[in-house]
Amino acid sequence: MWKARTIAESLLWLVAVPVCLGTVDPADQQLLASSSDLVNIRSANAKPFQLEADIRLQINVPQDGHFTWKWAAKDLWVQEIMLGDYREINVRKADTLYISRNGPFTPLRISELQDLVNVFSADAELQIKKIKHEAADGTETECIEARARPGRHVWNPKRELCINRATKEIVSDEVRDDQELRSKEFTAYEPFREHRYPRQLKLLVNGSAVVKIWVTSLQDATFDESTFVPPPGAIARRQCEHMIHPVPVKTPDPVYPRSAVQNRIGGTVTLAVSVLPDGSVSDVHLIGGAGHEMDEVTRQTVKKWKFKPAMCGNEPVSYDLQVEVNFRTQ
């Protein structure tokens, strides 16, 4: 027997939509909001800043690099990532994100890095299920179990946020399903303006660190207009508040190769794809493979998938995401 599962979210557990907290203690709702405000160095009245960080990403083998974030406003910033020979520059100007890279797609670990620096935002769609109080070494922690609100056809694993009750600092942010445990850890908080921001950030998958960030500098900055000029040839992607992400409509499973079934070989195939405004798929690139036959049959099948496209208001727009297909024997 075999089973193939598909996941069609770019970062799986990070769809930002309105809050839905259910019937819970208002103090717990306030704790979530306070923790979000504490780390939100990009708040509405924030002044420009520049963040510099050393990074280590697990891409086959550990690779070291550097991350720079020049932020002037929520719709005006630039991020630069250097990792070995890989270079990527993202420029946000108004309602457009410009992406320049020296590779055909953004590696998964780079996308995870870009999300990790955001730490936590309470505008993620969360419905609190239960609260667990923990105390160790004089520190009281509230661990909040939450899920996306019901009624949406999306991957919806259990999520647990653990918050230091006294300082309102996010300690960890875990997502678990039947296949893996993904955990963000935040330590070494230091003050920045009226906020506190972690100087060490880490993403673990099944206990192994795959993204590490060491913030070396976070300070006020001023930028001239030339800082935010998109590089020549950059890919343009429309951005908007409350973007509706692509929704799978027709996603048949790839046929399990006969030789893999006979030899009871399984694995995971990860692809980078673009969903076009008409819902079709283009620019299919292999990120992580399970074996030649499984990789190729998955690539050819995903090319035929159909989605409801991403939407900015009433306008369908192109959207880049990553697709994961699991081949499992039973």
pTM of the full structure: 0.84
Residues 80 and 71: their CA atoms lie apart, in Å, by 11
What structural domains does the chain harbor? 2-8+242-329 (3.30.2420.10), 26-237 (2.50.20.10)
Q: Are 267 and 294 in contact (CB under 8 A)?
A: yes
- Written as tens digits, the pLDDT of the chain (330 aa) is 333 334 333 333 333 323 333 455 677 778 888 999 999 999 888 999 999 999 999 988 999 999 999 999 999 999 999 999 999 999 999 999 999 999 998 988 999 999 999 998 765 566 777 888 888 777 889 998 877 655 444 456 788 999 998 999 999 999 887 677 899 999 999 999 999 999 999 999 999 999 999 999 999 999 999 999 999 999 999 999 888 989 999 999 898 888 888 888 888 888 999 999 999 999 999 988 888 788 999 999 999 999 999 999 999 999 998 888 888 776
> DSSP states of 194-240 as a string?
TEEEEEEEEEEETTEEEEEEEEEEEEE----GGGGPPPTT-EEEE--
For 153, the token pair is 């056809």
What are the respective helix, strand and coil percentages of the chain, to the nearest 5?
A: 15, 50, 35
